[in-house]
């Protein structure tokens, strides 16, 4: 079930922010070009909040061990054998909605 998280004015291109949706921490990222994606808010390596890392509009970089993720897909770039759980989003009347049903954060090797 989709839940309203924020408005489009809250998600700027090249920026990211965390929101709680149905008890799960969700990271919204404003991709270069204006699209929005929703991912698990913690790095799958050691549960570090991704919002504490860096985001350049294309890549998410965890602050702890510099794990890098493609912000368009959530797939790991370094290392390449991991990924972020992705949540469906929809936009209606400038509101951003996220659905976390049956999606859990992913965790990788350590």
Q: What is the block-wise mean pLDDT of the chain (110 residues), using blocks of 10 residues?
A: 96 96 96 96 95 96 96 96 96 97 85
Residue 101 in tokens: 């049903």
What is the per-residue pLDDT for 71? 98
pTM comes to 0.95
Query: Which CATH entry fits the domain spanning 3-98: 3.10.20.340, 3.20.20.370, 2.102.10.10, 3.50.50.60?
Result: 2.102.10.10
């Amino acid at each position: 079930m989709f839940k309203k998280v924020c408005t489009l004015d809250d998600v700027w291109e090249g920026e990211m922010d965390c929101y709680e949706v149905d008890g799960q921490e969700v990271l919204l990222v404003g991709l270069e070009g204006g699209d929005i994606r929703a991912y698990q808010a913690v790095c799958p390596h050691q549960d570090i909040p991704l919002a504490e890392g860096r985001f350049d509009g294309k890549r998410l970089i965890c602050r702890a061990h510099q794990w890098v993720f493609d912000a368009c897909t959530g797939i790991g770039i370094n290392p390449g054998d991991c990924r972020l759980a992705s949540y469906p989003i929809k936009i209606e009347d400038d509101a951003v909605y996220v659905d976390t049903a049956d999606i859990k954060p992913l965790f990788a090797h350590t």
